[in-house]
Amino acid sequence: MTIPVPTVVTSDLSRPATPAAFAEAVMVSLRPVFGASRAVLSDRRCGRPGEMHFVNWPAWCQAHYCAEVRARDPIRGWLDGKASEDGVTRLSELLPAARRTGLSPEPLLADSGAGFVLIMALRGQNRIVGALSLVRDAGHGDFDERDRGLAMALLPLLEMAYHGVIASGAATVPLCAGNDPLYALTPREREVAALASAGHSNKSIARMLATSPWTIKNQMRAALQKAGVRNRTELSALWNARSGEPR
């Protein structure tokens, strides 16, 4: 049976500017479709877990996940194993083996009120470049086979939208510790730096990231200090040199 793709999804995923914006747009689009309350996007363009974008989670969850859970997350193991042929799975399918080895993320889920996770592997150029996890709160029931079929039907659209983010001049570039001064920037500061390097003003960046120009000004100041440059021109030159995408 062919599962129709809801039109709300196609309309809300038109060219997000950054991975974080993509994660937010996916959450807005797919919340009514899957009954999900939150989402996580893992940007894996380095060939390993890179930036993590948590949408609608308690503030402590992202730092706790990166410090305590990511190394033993069965989702990461599934993705590192090139995922399954269809690119869609549920955390409940991965947990039995994780429980046997004690490598389970369940305490994080329980402590945050989350209950069930549906994972979609986003592919590009024959490799996994991102992973999108939709999360339901505890007590709402696990994702079922219909949800899996719908996720599989949506994958080409989600991959197309995510590839647009990657191809965009404003897309963030994964950086590795030890070889780049921009590594010290936070994920949001990198987004601001990327958009500024693409020629956007503080007001324009604030509009794209749904925040205030004052907040962007402070984030830009922090990015300049951490990168060791004096102004936006020097930051843009450094960013473009590191990204390999001169403008």
What residue spans define the domains of the chain? 14-167, 181-243
At residue 172, the pLDDT reads 46
Amino acid type, 197: S
Tell me the per-residue pLDDT of 194-228, one tens digit each, with 9 for 90 and over. 888 878 889 888 887 778 889 999 999 988 888 88
Show the low-confidence residues of the chain (pLDDT under 50): 1-3, 7-8, 10-11, 98, 100-103, 169-179, 244-247
SS3 annotation, 187-236: HHHHHHHHHHHCCCCHHHHHHHCCCCHHHHHHHHHHHHHHHCCCCHHHHH
Amino acid type, 73: D
At residue 55, the pLDDT reads 92
Which of 94, 137, 139, 135 is CA-nearest to residue 118? 135
Which pTM value belongs to this model? 0.64
Residue 91: Cβ-neighbour burial (10 angstroms; 0-12, 13-18, 19+): buried
**Domain with residues 181-243, CATH architecture:** Orthogonal Bundle (1.10)
CA distances from residue 128 to 7, 46, 59, 75, 157 in whole angstroms, order as listed: 26, 10, 27, 13, 15
Tell the CATH topology of 14-167: Beta-Lactamase (3.30.450)
Q: Decide: 187 and 62 in contact? Cβ < 8 Å.
A: no
Q: Position of tokens 């046997």? A: 100
φ/ψ region of 69 (left if φ > 0, alpha if ψ in -120 to 50, else beta) reads alpha
